[in-house]
Amino acid sequence: MTATVFPFPIIRRHGFIRKQASHAALMNPDAGVRYLQHQIDVQAETMRRKGINEDLIQRELRCMRRALQAEFAGNIMQPER
């Protein structure tokens, strides 16, 4: 028996995105970018272990990257958030 696994859209995980971007914003810019990439890599590996189709993983990672970048930029521009 085969089942198709669909991930919960990572873009809808606002708390996760906000937390990671806020944490990265506290670092120097290069470290913050590396930290966000690490978080993306961790999510990719987690989805692969769960058997999610690679095309879906790539779509989710693109969405995650855009969301993290937007939140990160907002944290840099408005640090008092």
Residue 2 lies in a domain: no
Residue 81 lies in a domain: no
- 35 is in which domain, residue-wise? 11-76
What average pLDDT does this structure show over 48-73?
91
Burial class (CB in 10 A: 0-12, 13-18, 19+), 21: buried
Residue 6 lies in a domain: no
Question: E strand or H helix at 56, and its extent?
Answer: helix 54-77
Residue 23 lies in a domain: yes
Residue 51 lies in a domain: yes
pLDDT for residue 23 is more than 90: yes
What average pLDDT does this structure show over 45-70?
92
- Residue 53 has φ and ψ, to the nearest 5°, of -55, 140
Residue 15 lies in a domain: yes
Residue 47 lies in a domain: yes
> Based on the structure, what is the number of domains in the chain?
1
What average pLDDT does this structure show over 55-73?
91
- Quote the pTM value: 0.78
